[in-house]
């Protein structure tokens, strides 16, 4: 009985990761046989069945752990460690997907870029931990105030970008205006000081004919028109 059930199965192939479903199928067929007629297997057959079921369970658990590890490593490759946002690589991948979708379904959207003002002065005066605190605060603000369908990235040292998908030009510009005001009103407390955040923003809409390099160029050109200086360090309340 057992040979006939396994005659179409190459045992060597069962150790491959992509053959786990076949391994589980064989184990299930043997389990059903043992329930119907346990005497046909005998003690040795029952032991082999037990070994097979144990091996299948262990293999499935091992593969699940491997897949989780791969997903984790893949996320690290596209994630900025400091802010938890997309990094440059992740941003470029999502921008390529957004533009491919725009070509496919005639979708429109908007690209927003953000460049912090006086960031080097903050690092030079208060140290890099203060600069890191500002980067995290800006990243969190952008992430909290964008839609689930948007992609927020830190694309450089003090540069951020937001891909606003499925957005008309008017909606995209409204969202961009809101983010511009919120970031430029942000104040980050640091060791008794209040560090105001200042940033320039640039926007450009995209459609099915847009190209990534042209889109980034236009957004950067718009950004440099709107750079607004603001560097006034205040004592935190009660510290003066």
Q: What is the pLDDT of residues 135-183, one digit of tens each?
A: 999 999 999 999 999 999 999 999 999 999 999 888 888 888 999 999 9
Question: What are 75-109's pLDDT values in tens digits?
Answer: 557 899 999 999 999 999 999 999 999 999 999 99
| Residue-level pLDDT at 95 | 97
pLDDT at 115 exceeding the cut of 70: yes
106 is catalytic: no
User: ∠81-199-146 over CA atoms, to 5°?
Assistant: 60
pLDDT at 60 exceeding the cut of 60: yes
pLDDT at 205 exceeding the cut of 60: yes
| Residue-level pLDDT at 176 | 87
Q: Which of 80, 115, 150, 158 is catalytic?
A: 158
**Residue pointed to by tokens 């752990």:** 65
Instruction: Calculate the average pLDDT of the chain.
Output: 81
pLDDT at 5 exceeding the cut of 60: no
pLDDT at 236 exceeding the cut of 60: no
For the chain, domains (ranges, CATH) are 2-77 (no CATH), 88-235 (3.30.70.270)
| Residue-level pLDDT at 169 | 84
Q: Which one has a higher pLDDT value, 234 or 106? A: 106
pLDDT at 64 exceeding the cut of 50: yes
| Residue-level pLDDT at 61 | 72
């Amino acid at each position: 009985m057992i040979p006939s059930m396994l005659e179409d199965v190459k045992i060597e192939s069962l150790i491959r990761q992509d053959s786990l479903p076949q391994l589980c199928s064989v184990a299930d067929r043997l389990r059903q046989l043992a329930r119907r007629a346990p005497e046909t297997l005998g003690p040795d057959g029952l032991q082999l069945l037990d070994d097979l079921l144990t091996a299948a369970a262990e293999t499935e658990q091992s593969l699940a752990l491997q897949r989780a590890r791969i997903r984790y490593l893949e996320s690290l490759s596209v994630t900025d460690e400091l802010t938890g946002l997309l990094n440059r690589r992740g941003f470029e991948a999502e921008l390529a997907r957004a533009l491919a979708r725009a070509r496919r379904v005639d979708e429109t959207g908007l690209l927003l870029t953000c460049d912090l003002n006086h960031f080097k002065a903050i690092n030079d005066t208060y140290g890099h931990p203060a600069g890191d605190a500002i980067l995290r605060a800006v990243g969190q603000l952008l992430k909290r105030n964008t839609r689930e369908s948007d992609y927020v990235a830190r694309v450089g040292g003090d540069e951020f970008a937001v891909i606003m998908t499925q957005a008309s030009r008017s909606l995209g510009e409204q969202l961009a205006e809101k983010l511009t005001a919120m970031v430029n009103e942000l104040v980050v407390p640091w060791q008794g000081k209040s560090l105001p955040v200042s940033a320039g923003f640039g926007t450009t809409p995209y459609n099915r004919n847009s190209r990534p390099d042209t889109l980034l160029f236009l957004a950067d050109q718009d950004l440099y028109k709107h750079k607004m200086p603001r560097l006034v360090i205040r004592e935190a309340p009660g510290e003066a």
